[in-house]
Structure 1
Amino acid sequence: MSVEALLTRDYDANPGAVHERLRATYGPVAPVDVLGVHVWFVLGYEEVLHVLQNKGGAWSKNVDRWREYAEARVPADWPLLPVFQVNNSAFSEGATQHKLRAAWTKALAPFQDHSHPQAQLLKQAMGQYADDLIGVMSEGGTTGWADLAAQYARPLPLMVANRLLGFAAARGEEVVMDIWRMIDAGPDAAAAFQRLHKAMTELAAAKRQRPGDDLTSYMIEADPDLTLDELARELLMLPGLLDFTASLICNVVVEVVSNPAVRESLSAGEIDETVNRVALLNPPMANLTFRFPKTDVKLGNHTIAAGDPVMLSVAAAHADPRFAGGLDQHTIRSTRAHLAWGAGPHACLGHRLATQIATIAVQRLFSQYSRLKLALPADQLPWRASPFMRALRSLPVQYELAESRVPAPRGVDAPVTPPPSADGGAVPRSRSPLWSFLRGLRRSR
């Protein structure tokens, strides 16, 4: 069967139009080419949910189930191959997956249970990080221009990751910068990944000797039998979750400033509803990593052979007329039956944490700026080319600080309040590589 390339300029600019063309041609499942590999692209809500729920155990995410990969027919330099070779719980199955997810559930609980002291401290830290980032963006004056993606939405979740993992402050900032390099998949991404794996392994070893009140220590406590390599690979999942969160923050900001009804609801305190609405209408994780059927299966109008790669499109599923036709697109309150957080055995365990980060980020932003306006029309914003994420490359805005938030005059290089860190120390921000980088972004405008 002839197939068309999925990842084109048309797809980057308007994936919804591509989804509808494929749906009209093939139905809920379409054959496509993803960077030279033939893939079954699932567009139907019922079909995506069926595969995610995997009630009969017919589907696997383990790359060894991929027939062409097992037969060494996937090129060694295929760009996405390292994603599938990470070998952590995101791609495991059976007893191994249950064991690792149980450790995640127990380790995340103190940070996602709002009654727990660790969750309360983390919430305070999130607000402080948001305020500090806004302070750096606004150092040039009470009105100006900023890139909310690079200067706010992306660094904020990574700062939270630094705190969660329990890095000492100086090492944590190095890790934040390497996470950026890895996620952006630039020329130094491979070296950044190696440094990150080494850093995570060293962190795991240190926490075995001296545990703290952090996610790494709680993972070790939940499953003491985890090897250092296993633990490092699990911890490397955090950047993916938090890059998702950064994209969610950006998408929420665009929705708020572009839609007066949503802006009004934000004033009424409906931030959680706005975040949920955006997760439905513009999910950051647009497409999920591959699944592989263990036996031949019927899906949509096609029979999928055992071992064929299947890519599930959350964004296309949300737009499926069989699902979207029953939704009121104009209401602020929207269904929780969306798939932005997945479903079934691989559903996201950190969705409450990600939602909280996004909610605090948006609330702090709109409480401290009296005016935020897109510097480009919404349909001209630049999107990152990605097979999985629907994420803005930049989010340029014009801002005006609220009168009550106008800062006292101070030197441009004066450090703002250092954030709390797991070891109780802090890097003076006049010498911090992260904050120097962020100030450099401001000066370059």
Structure 2
Amino acid sequence: MSSGCPHARMYQSEPHPDPYGAYARMRAEHGPVVPVELAPGVHGWLVTDYATLISWSRDTTVFTHDSRLWRDSARGRVGPGAPLAPMTAPRAGALFVDGVEHRRLRRAITDALGAVTAARLAAVTTRAADLLIDGFCARGEADLLEEYARMLPPLVMNDLFGMEGDQGARFAAAVRGLWAGRDAERSGAEAERVLSEVVDAKHRAPGDDLASRLIRHRARLSDDEVVTQLLLVASAANEPTAALIDSVLRAVLADPSRWHVPGGPSPAALDDLVERVLWRDPPILNYPALYPRVDVPLDRGRVIEAGSPVLLACAAANHFFQKENPERVADGADRANRAHVAWGAGPHRCPARDEATAITTVAVRRLLQRLPDPVPAVPAERLRWRLATLSWAPVSLPVRFTPQRPAAPTAAPAGPPGTGPAGGGAPPRSGLLRRLLRRP
């Protein structure tokens, strides 16, 4: 992100050493509400101020999530090939509508997620974690981003969504492309194609999964609505959850004496750590977008024109708020102070946030139980991020540890179909995992 022109550029091809430094420079030049270039020739605004982000997210009179109000898009200035087009296109999803229709769709999502018990989520996550850890634990080294954090959420979603065969791998690759803005039009089409296949299959053979529960929900969703709600949930459960796992692991690696304990850290200790990370290094960057129905005056005589996209910089808002108010986000107060905006704010706050944090907590604890002494393979200051309009993605998280034996087949609880052991030794890698390891 650079600002050599009146608009700060929100896309960058080269890895960046300090994402928050980029935000700090934008704020220093433009103030907390920044005029930005979302893509070449496509302009909007970025809210990096905590109080403003919360206020505007709650103001459903002035602002809407309905992207049909985006004037540049309506005038044909945002083509279907634009990196952010598939993530902002008008659709029948809870994130893109307001009022009664939003409440109808959101209720279907929360009811479907609510049917997943904490025990099942923990069991499925543990099984997926063991499957992945068995793949690298004997080596004594691993890239915990590519080999663990990014691989685990698709394995969990494969089970919870009722996906079969290679659907989970295809969908995970497509969602990653959407968040990164890589070939976004094709990624968006592929994600919807996979989910349409899932919905068609669940009409023929319903099961105990999110897709089946949405199909039979009393809100009477159309198939297109089911696909869109699944896409919303999976978008939050895949790449953002991977980013949160990565952030928590980086926090663990920065303070090994606290976290390298026999049997792994307690769930309560990890809960507190996750909350601190959600304040200081949250997983969602600049999403979703609001669209003002009327012109919104700012300082310095500036005006946000009606129909201009306003991206919510949740990570920046959290980061700068806690830096400027350390006494309100102190280590000892985190459990009581969960007012962060890591998952958004207002009526559109992410409905899958509890599931994402639960998956993260289980994944990190299981890793530390299996690998009791991981240490960074490179200094933290040498880590790099790739910045895109909607998100940033770490390049890698290499670690070293004392080599461990793979887990016994009976040690892991039941989990996703097709990932169970078949005979003695370590569980074989599933077809989904083999596909995931073929990096796009």
TM-score category, normalised to shorter length: 0.7 to 0.9
Aligned 8 A contact 1:374 1:398 in 2: yes
- Per the alignment, in what secondary structure is the counterpart of residue 385 of structure 2? coil
Are the structure 2 counterparts of residues 209 and 321 from structure 1 closer, same or farther at C-alpha, using a change threshold of 3 Å?
closer
- Superposition deviation, residue 332 in structure 1: 5.4
Distance in 2 between residues matched to 1:184 and 1:292, nearest whole Å: 22
Over the residues paired in the alignment, what is the CA RMSD in angstroms? 3.3
Name the residue aligned to 1:52: 57
Deviation at 1:148, TM superposition (A): 0.8
The TM-score, its normalising length taken from structure 2, stands at: 0.85
In the TM superposition, 1:154-165 aligns within 5 A as 154-165=150-161
Which of 97, 105, 123 in structure 2 is aligned with 1:92?
97
Q: Deviations over 1:102-128 (max 9, x none)?
A: 1111111122xxxxxx43223212111
Report the equivalent of 1:131: 130
Letter in 1 for 2:371: Y
Identify the residue that residue 35 of structure 1 maps to in structure 2: 39
What is residue 236 of structure 2 aligned with on the other side?
241
Map 1:15-26 to 2 at 5 A.
15-26=19-30
Asked if 1:71 corresponds to 2:114, the answer is no
CA distance in 1, matches of 2:155, 2:187: 17
* In structure 1, distance between residues paired with 2:434 and 2:303: 54
CA offsets per residue over residues 262-300 of structure 1, 9 Å max, x none?
A: 537974551001011111101111222321110112345
Q: Which moved more, 1:190-199 or 1:19-28?
A: 190-199
Compared CA separation, residues 192 and 28, structure 1 to 2 (3 A): closer
Q: Report the alpha carbon displacement of residue 171 of structure 1 after superposing the two structures with TM.
A: 4.4
Distance 1:46 1:10 in 2: 32
SS of the aligned residue for 2:402 comes to strand
Residues 227/154 of structure 1: CA separation in 2 closer, same or farther (3 Å cut): same
Unaligned runs of 5+ in 1: 112-117
Change (3 A) 1:124 1:221: same
1:304, distance to aligned residue in structure 2 (A): 1.7
Contact 1:51/1:59 (<8 A) preserved: yes
Secondary structure class of the residue paired with 2:226: helix
Query: Is the 1:177–1:434 Cα contact (8 Å) retained in structure 2?
Result: no
The corresponding residue for 1:151 is 147
The answer to whether the aligner puts 1:167 opposite 2:163 as a matched pair is yes
Shift of 1:101: 0.5
Q: CA deviation at 1:43?
A: 1.8
Identity percentage of aligned residues: 31
Report the counterpart of residue 119 of structure 2 in structure 1: 120
Question: In the alignment, is the contact (CA less than 8 A) between 1:262 and 1:274 conserved in 2?
Answer: no
Q: Structure 2 CA distance, aligned partners of 1:66 and 1:305?
A: 10
Q: Could you tell me which amino acid in structure 2 is paired with residue 289 of structure 1? A: P
- My pick for the range that moved more, 236-245 or 202-211, is 202-211
Tell me if 1:311 matches 2:316.
Answer: no
Pairwise CA distance, 1:204: 1.6
Specify whether residues 438 and 399 from structure 1 end up closer, same or farther in structure 2 by C-alpha distance, changes over 3 A only: farther
Aligned residue identity for 2:281: N
Aligned to 1:198: 193
Q: Deviations over 1:389-443 (max 9, x none)?
A: 2331221111224xxx63489xxxx9x9896346x896977584433356778xx
Q: 1:70 to 1:407 in 2, by over 3 A?
A: closer
Amino acid at match of 2:275: N
Alpha-carbon contact 2:170-2:191 (below 8 Å) kept = no
Residue 333 of structure 1: how far off its partner (Å): 4.5
